[in-house]
Structures are given as C-alpha cells and as structure tokens.
Amino acid sequence: MAHTVTFSIPERKLGKADIEFAVKKGRVKFGTLKVSKGSVVWVPVNKQIGRKLSWKRFAELAEEHGWDE
C-alpha cells in the first residue's frame, strides 16, 4: 500500500516556518516531514522531537542510499 502525503503551507517565507508534510500509511499517520530553508526534520508519530538533517547531509544520505529508476 502506498503512503499518503498531505501538506499545509504557512503564509510566510520558507525558513521562518516549516512546511509540514503529514505522511500516512492507509489511514494511520506514519509521521511528519518538516521542510525548512536550513534543514529537513522527520518526526515519528507520537513523538515531539524529530531527527534533523541539514540539506547537505540529506543529499549525502540520498546519494548513498537512494537509487536511480
């Protein structure tokens, strides 16, 4: 089953407030992806503090663990 991703965009410049993507598997929330000017943060469901990655580190991990289609 594919994940469902929804988002809301605050009426501010990116970097002042995160864009939040709610990620669900079926009807169950899987976590939240927060995107800002300086980083990305994954917050698992039922957690308040997430895992923060700089864009540089995110790109390194994507290159190392991602794949071409």
Distance between CA atoms of residues 69 and 57, nearest Å = 22
Determine the pLDDT at residue 6. 77
User: Residue 2 pLDDT more than 80?
Assistant: no
Give residue-wise pLDDT tens across range 31-63.
Answer: 999 998 889 999 999 999 999 999 999 999 999
3-state DSSP assignment of residue 19: strand
User: Residue 18 pLDDT more than 90?
Assistant: no
What's the mean per-residue pLDDT of the chain? Answer: 85
